[in-house]
Every structure is written in C-alpha cells, then in structure tokens.
Chain A
C-alpha cells in the first residue's frame, strides 16, 4: 500500500515536472541570476578583461535608493500605473458594455476596430501618435485651437509628457480588456437581469448589483494583468522620446532607467538591481490587488 502511494506521488511529480522545469529555467533561474548580478559591479570594464568585477553586496541598492533619478522613475511609473490602469479598465469596461448592449449594430466590426490597436506594432503606433502630438502641425492642437484652447507642447513639456503617454497607452491597450469583459458579460445569465427588472431595478442598480459582482473574476484578472504590464512601462517612452525618457526625465520609467543603466552606461550590476526592485514592486502590487479583491469578496 505504501509503495503504491509512493508510486502515485512519483507519477504525480513526473506529470508536473515539465512545467516545473520550464518555471525553473525561465523564471527562477533568471530571477536568481539577476539578483546575483545585482550584487556585483559587472560593468564596462568587466567586459574588457578578466576579473575586473567585484562582489559589492548591497551597494548597488544603497546607491539606487539614494539616487533622486531612481525615485523620479518610480514616481513616474506609479503615476502611469495609477492613472493609466484605471482609465484603461474604465475604457475597456465602457466599450464592452456598449458592444454588449442589445441595441448595438455591427458588433463584429466595432469589436475588430477597437481591438486593432492592441495587435498593432507599437513603433507604428508611435509614429502616428508623434504626428498627432506634434505641437505645430498635429491634429490634436489643431482641434484645440478650434475650441479656443492654446497649443499644448504634448511631448516637449514636462507637465504634459507623461499624461500624453498615458492617453496613448489607454488607446493602445483597452481593447484587450474589452474583449475579456465582453466574454465576462456574456457569461452573466440573462435571467438575473430579468429578475431584477421585474423587481423594479433600474439600469444603474442592475449594473452595480448584478453586472459588477458577476464580473469580479474578470475584473481581477484584467486589473492584475494591466497593472503588471503598466509597471513594466518601457516601449512607450522609449519610442516616443528617442530612448531618453525626457523631457527632464519626465517620462523616465523604472524599466527605461534599468535599460539605460544596463545598456547605455553598461552598468549591469546597477541595471540588475533595478530589475530586482521592479520585480519586488510588481510582486507586492499584484499580491495587494489579489488580497483586496479577495477581501471585498468576503
């Protein structure tokens, strides 16, 4: 009997072994390697010769935490997540509700059109948005001038640069959440709405009391995915600001700072330390999000 149980356990382990191996090779390994690299001063000199690197303990972390640029990058990233995340979710949910409404025509067409930005290459998107944001010839400022508002130097002004990126990211990404929300909405039994309607519930009450609670799993999933994705903000400032994170570091994200440290100044140790800190931040934020959702379930 015990031998059988052991055999069963063994086959169980064998079944999950491929998944565990993949996790070990592609997740645990790199994270551990990144952490170790962050404890060294591997840099340009280390590329050039033997032994030109040292184990420096937590020095990279100490310097980072004392560096105002790192804090600014963290602030910028949190701004992007806290403003861009909810906006993206709201846009996605709004679009999903409209597309799910009975009165809507051409649902397939609209769904495709609204989803198109998600699958478009960011570089192509950036070219278009740089044109939209052009302070002199851009359609956005042209439109503003019609309604009598002054020209905005979208990407050149430190005040506006990050909101401009948020706007672009919302437009680019909301389609993904929208598709998931549509699926979630379709899974809500019509009978619930019907029953509520008979009880005299209005549209708003039904949305709050039926749609939102029934959508909770989808909301959680889209929320976590969006948050994780937005914390890794990199490509948007990279392509929109020529890789600088300017003006005046206003669009410098943590991931972009990591890239600059690692590949522009070739300070791999500092780059790896930033990567590990970003990993901790994302881990913390996702855990918090799941906890909050679970808490409100109870």
Chain B
C-alpha cells in the first residue's frame, strides 16, 4: 500500500504529525483491535465491549475516544501519518472525503458473507450515504435526521388540530401562530447560520444542488429557486426572526416560554428538551415529520440523512476482526443497548420494533421521517459548499442582497470550490480514453 507522495505533501504530513502530537495517546496494546469513536458515543460504546470480548475469546478492543471537535482533523492526520485505527466511527457526510483519499475498505465482500446484516433492514436514504462509486464503504451505526419540533398546545389554541403536512398548511399554521403570539415572539426559529434548513427544503422540491456529477453548483435550478423563495419568505413575512444560533441565548427556555413555537432540529434535542424542561412541561412540545411541498401530502417532505457509520480502514491488517465488531455493533440488541446508553437512534429498522421506541411518542416522528431522507451531495467539498449556503442566505436575509444575486453568488462559490474536482475528473476521463 505504499504510495509515492510528493515532497510537499510529506512536508505537510510532518507538520500535521507535529500538530497532532499532543493528541497522541500511548501505543495500543499488542493484539488489541483499535476502534476510534467520538464524543459521547466513544464514551458509552466502551460499555458494550466486554460482551463482545466474551463472545470472541482472544479478541480485545481498545476504544479510543476522540472529542467531536477534533475528530475530523485527527482522522486526516492519522491517515497522513499512517496511524489509522482498524475500525472507526465516521460521520456519514465525511465518507466521500475518505473514499476520495482511498482510505476506506469497500465492505461489499464482507456484506455478502453476513446474512445477519441485510441492507434491506436499514433506512434506504441512510444506507445510501455509504454507497459511492466503488462500493459500500460504511455500515450505518446510528442515525439522525431533522424533524419539526412544535408547541402542540399553542397550535391547538390557535385553532389548528395537528402539525402541518404540506407547505400550505405550514404557512397557515405559522400565520395563525403569529396572529396569536405575544409581541416580540415569533412563530418559528430558523437559525440563519445553519445550512440545513434551505438544503432540506431543496431536497423536498427535488433540487439536485450540484449538477454534472458534482462538477458545478445547481442552486439556480428551478427546484432550488422554489425552495429558496419559500425559505426566504418565512423571514420576509415575519414568521421567523433573522437570528443566528449565537443570538439565541437559551433556546429551550425560549421555546418553553413561547418565544417561538416551531423549530427544525434533530434527535439530540429530544434529550435536551427532556433534560431542560420541567416534567410538567413535557406535554407541551411534540415532534412531527417535515411538511411536504404539496399540494397533496402523500408522504412527509424529505429531510437530511444524518448519523454515523462504522467503517474499516484500508490500511488495517485485521479487517476480518474489525468486521466482527461491525457485525456485533449492528445487531439489533446491541443497537438498543446503545440507544439506552446514548440516546442515539438505532440504524437497524428491526430495532425500531422494540417497545422503548414504539411507545415513545417523541420518537415516532423520527421513525416516519427516517424513511424519507436523502444524503447531501456525495463530494468531499460538500462541507465547504454548505458553509457558503448559510453565508449567502445570511447576506440575502440581513444584507439586502436579492435572492437572485445570492443564488448566483452561491453557484459561483460552488464552481470555485469544485474547480479541483473538475480538473481531476477531466484528467481521469482523459486518461481512461
């Protein structure tokens, strides 16, 4: 697997290794399977390991916990320094990047040998995040997506029976909430520094976001225009304040106090609401799948396919052992144990039949929504482009830039960011000919 590198890359690598040095731990015990997991997940997954080691005599797992904020850098520096672990938790939006580096092992041969691990038992949109040209590069471990959090009590007071199912109903509900809201309060919170909301609305209208195999931005396509216009109108009509997350001091208290009554966020906030709102206030908030653009509501509107996968590094010399750990962590019973420990939603649909999830009214929206999710464009540059999406919309919302000009600038940003990708693709195509 030795691949020649340019001297500059080597210099960068040496620099990177130096920069990463303080984070390096001790050498892993000889013979232990090295597993890196991030943040809270890395903490609680250790509790699942004794059982795995009991079932697999002779196998030991060394879990290294890496903080989320350092995870991405750490993985890249590990790759450069050839210190990658055997198995890793990987945010599913990072997979294209590590596949572009040729760092991950295609898992198709392993999957075909593991009848217990059927792709059909996963949410299709989530599974899709792991599929790239060249194979399947990860197995979903836990999932997340965004749904509508809303104040059911205030909605009923405004004379609306249930959560909105179409954009039209959504707008009507927002108008009713706005009409009854206290001065200074808003119907909805859409933090302007998040790219997820406009992108999700774009999914719903069928926008591709990028075109020509990820060579150019496609933010001026009619589908995205429609979504963008709807998104901007939510602010222009006064339903949502143009605030960024940093300007909202305590989102849970403000939601409880009725400062805003709808919010699009993920499963992590289910736990936060349970923690930060008193028990007597747990009935006022509910979750619902996202509204669809309509006009009819046969299915919820699409949302983001998020979560983490388990992946095996190509450089690992213990891929079979690593795969056993993937199988173990993917078994529905372990998925449920992990859910109980971390609150992370299981990736296996079989696990969703368990009572803890079936009887949880707040989880139900996620069960439904997860069947209607889509991955973000699978190019390594997506994270940079997504950052620009948020920034350009902020300019439109705060800075008096027209939506048309904003979308044009966004396409320009995307084209600039994707320039290298175009060059590489063209060169590869020229070489293939």
Mark B1-44 against chain A: 1 for CB-CB distance below 8 A, else 0: 00111101101110010010000000000000000000000000
Interface segment among B73-81, B144-152, B156-164: the answer is: B73-81
Residues of A within 8 A of B13 (CB): 47
Whether B420 contacts A45 by the Cβ 8 Å rule is: yes
Residues of B within 8 A of A265 (CB): 383-384
**Within 8 Å of chain B (Cβ to Cβ): is A246?**
yes
Q: Residue on A with the closest CB to B9?
A: A46
Residues of A within 8 A of B307 (CB): none
- Report A13 CB to chain B, min CB distance, Å: 29
Whether A263 contacts B16 by the Cβ 8 Å rule is: yes
Residues of A within 8 A of B250 (CB): 136
Give the CA-CA distance A54 to B5 in the complex, in Å: 14
- Report A51 CB to chain B, min CB distance, Å: 7
Interface segment among B94-102, B194-202, B360-368: the answer is: B94-102
Residues of B within 8 A of A246 (CB): 246
**Within 8 Å of chain A (Cβ to Cβ): is B72?**
yes
Give the CA-CA distance A103 to B141 in the complex, in Å: 69
Whether A40 contacts B8 by the Cβ 8 Å rule is: yes
Whether B6 contacts A46 by the Cβ 8 Å rule is: yes
**Within 8 Å of chain A (Cβ to Cβ): is B259?**
no
Q: Residue on A with the closest CB to B380?
A: A44
**Within 8 Å of chain A (Cβ to Cβ): is B424?**
yes
**Within 8 Å of chain B (Cβ to Cβ): is A53?**
yes
- Report A35 CB to chain B, min CB distance, Å: 12
**Within 8 Å of chain A (Cβ to Cβ): is B69?**
yes
- Report A190 CB to chain B, min CB distance, Å: 48
Give the CA-CA distance A43 to B76 in the complex, in Å: 11
Give the CA-CA distance A248 to B247 in the complex, in Å: 9
Residues of A within 8 A of B245 (CB): 247
**Within 8 Å of chain A (Cβ to Cβ): is B249?**
yes
Complex interface residues of chain A between 133 and 167 (CB less than 8 A to chain B):
135-136, 153, 156-158
- Report B259 CB to chain A, min CB distance, Å: 16
Residues of B within 8 A of A36 (CB): 8
Residues of A within 8 A of B424 (CB): 45, 52
Give the CA-CA distance A98 to B8 in the complex, in Å: 53
**Within 8 Å of chain A (Cβ to Cβ): is B244?**
yes
Residues of A within 8 A of B128 (CB): none
Mark A227-269 against chain B: 1 for CB-CB distance below 8 A, else 0: 0000000000000001100111000000000000001111010
Q: Which of B69, B101, B249 contacts A242 (CB 8 A)?
A: B69
Give the CA-CA distance A23 to B67 in the complex, in Å: 37
**Within 8 Å of chain B (Cβ to Cβ): is A298?**
no
Complex interface residues of chain A between 155 and 200 (CB less than 8 A to chain B):
156-158
- Report B29 CB to chain A, min CB distance, Å: 28
Whether B11 contacts A247 by the Cβ 8 Å rule is: no
Whether A247 contacts B102 by the Cβ 8 Å rule is: no
Known contacts A49-B102, A248-B246: A268-B12 contact under CB 8 Å: yes
Whether B11 contacts A37 by the Cβ 8 Å rule is: yes
Q: Which of A48, A135, A156, A263 contacts B102 (CB 8 A)?
A: A48
Q: Residue on A with the closest CB to B5?
A: A50
Residues of A within 8 A of B249 (CB): 135, 153, 156
Residues of B within 8 A of A248 (CB): 193, 244, 246
Whether B9 contacts A53 by the Cβ 8 Å rule is: yes
Whether A44 contacts B101 by the Cβ 8 Å rule is: yes
- Report B422 CB to chain A, min CB distance, Å: 12
Give the CA-CA distance A49 to B9 in the complex, in Å: 10
Whether B6 contacts A247 by the Cβ 8 Å rule is: no
**Within 8 Å of chain B (Cβ to Cβ): is A225?**
no
Q: Residue on B with the closest CB to A263?
A: B73
Residues of A within 8 A of B100 (CB): 44-45, 48
Q: Residue on A with the closest CB to B74?
A: A263
Whether B9 contacts A263 by the Cβ 8 Å rule is: no
**Within 8 Å of chain B (Cβ to Cβ): is A201?**
no
Whether A247 contacts B8 by the Cβ 8 Å rule is: no
Complex interface residues of chain B between 51 and 106 (CB less than 8 A to chain A):
69-70, 72-73, 76-77, 79-80, 97, 100-103
Give the CA-CA distance A43 to B383 in the complex, in Å: 14
Residues of A within 8 A of B12 (CB): 37, 42, 47, 268
Whether B246 contacts A158 by the Cβ 8 Å rule is: yes
Give the CA-CA distance A158 to B192 in the complex, in Å: 15
Give the CA-CA distance A157 to B79 in the complex, in Å: 37
Residues of B within 8 A of A47 (CB): 9, 12-13, 76, 79-80, 101
Mark B237-269 against chain A: 1 for CB-CB distance below 8 A, else 0: 000000011110110000000000000000000
Whether B420 contacts A266 by the Cβ 8 Å rule is: no
Q: Which of A42, A153, A156 contacts B9 (CB 8 A)?
A: A42
Residues of B within 8 A of A116 (CB): none
Known contacts A53-B6, A158-B246: A264-B73 contact under CB 8 Å: yes
A45-B100, A48-B101, A243-B70 known; 13 new pairs, CB 8 Å cut-off, are A37-B8, A37-B11, A42-B8, A43-B420, A44-B76, A45-B424, A47-B76, A53-B6, A135-B249, A247-B247, A263-B77, A265-B384, A266-B76
What is the interface of chain A, defined by CB distance below 8 A to chain B?
33, 36-37, 40-54, 63, 135-136, 153, 156-158, 242-243, 246-248, 263-266, 268
Task: Pick 6 A–B contacts, CB within 8 A, sort by A.
Answer: A46-B8, A47-B80, A50-B5, A54-B423, A248-B244, A263-B76
Q: Which 6 A-B pairs have the closest CB atoms?
A: A247-B246, A48-B101, A268-B12, A263-B73, A243-B69, A242-B69
